[in-house]
Amino acid sequence: MTFEIWIAFVAASTALVLIPGPTVLLVVSYALGQGWRAALPMAVGVALGDFTAMSLSVLGIGALLMASATLFTVVKWVGAAYLVYLGIKLFRAGGTLSAEPKTDASSALRMGAHAWLVTSLNPKGILFFVAFFPQFIDQHLAFWPQVLILQATFLAIAFANALAYAFFASRARGLVRNPRVIGAINKASGSMLIGAGVASVAIRSGN
């Protein structure tokens, strides 16, 4: 795996985790209700949930690679196209994030389990891993070392993002509910997704 491919993956992953969705909504909700103490268990739960969805997806990707190198390449191009499409759609979207504070005194274990469940069953994350992982994998190189690098990178980004959202929500409750702020996040994330999709195609075309 080249450094350029890894950077493209970092950009796409960062854009994905920044997008306000079910996982972000849950993290913000707990942070609004219980403050900074909810951050660590929520971040751990998010990371474990992403690892669960990622592992299931990777097994399918590995089977696809073994079945047909041509089909694997087709999936890579389709993934790049979808990445650009998703970025354009996100860039044009508005910004809303409705989160009701969690006032119940949930334990750290319960909060972490809730985050794991929501994240592992999030279709957005599962779709990302299935559609986008292949375009960052070189079928001519060993499969599992590349997967381990991508997994470790994504999990680190997801963990840091959950912590950041929790801190942001606990310290700036008004901004979290501000459509302009969420809209700006969507535009930034959309631009990153478009850039990552275009970059992955450009890198492959140059090889």
The answer to whether residue 102 sits within a structural domain is no
- What confidence score (pLDDT) does residue 149 get? 92
Burial 167-197 (b: 16+ CB within 10 A, else e): ebbbeeeeebbeeebbbebbbbbbbbbbbbb
pLDDT at 109: 83
pTM of the model: 0.66
- Provide the number of structural domains found in the chain: 1
pLDDT of residue 83: 66
Q: How far is CA 104 from the centre of its chain?
A: 28
Residue 69 contacts residue 134 (beta carbons within 8 Å): no
| Residue type at 165 in one-letter notation | Y
Kindly calculate the radius of gyration of the chain based on its CA atoms and give it in whole angstroms: 17
Say if residues 205 and 17 touch (Cβ distance below 8 Å). Answer: no
Query: How would you write the pLDDT of the chain (207 residues) with one tens digit per residue?
Result: 788 888 888 888 887 787 766 677 777 777 776 777 777 888 888 889 888 888 877 777 666 666 666 766 676 677 677 667 767 776 776 655 555 555 555 677 888 887 888 777 766 666 667 777 777 888 788 888 988 999 899 999 989 988 888 887 777 655 555 667 667 766 776 776 677 677 666 655 555
Q: Identify the pLDDT of residue 118.
A: 75
- Answer whether residue 99 is part of any domain: no
CB of 169 closer than 8 Å to CB of 176: yes
Is residue 198 in a domain? Answer: yes
Q: Which residue range(s) make up the domain with 49?
A: 3-94+108-206
Query: Is 120 inside a domain boundary?
Result: yes
- Residue 135 is assigned to a structural domain of this protein: yes
Residue 1 in contact with residue 149, Cβ under 8 Å? yes
* Domain annotation covers residue 101: no
**The pLDDT of residue 163:** 87
Is 100 inside a domain boundary?
A: no
State how far the Cα of 60 lies from the Cα of 89, in Å rounded to an integer: 27
Separation of alpha carbons 162 and 122, rounded Å = 15
Dist CA 185 CA 14 (whole Å): 11
Half-sphere exposure of 122 (CA within 13 A, CB side): 29
The pLDDT, as a whole number, for residue 152 is 92
In the prediction, which pLDDT does 28 show? 75
The residue whose two tokens read 């992403």 is: 50
Q: Is residue 154 part of a domain?
A: yes
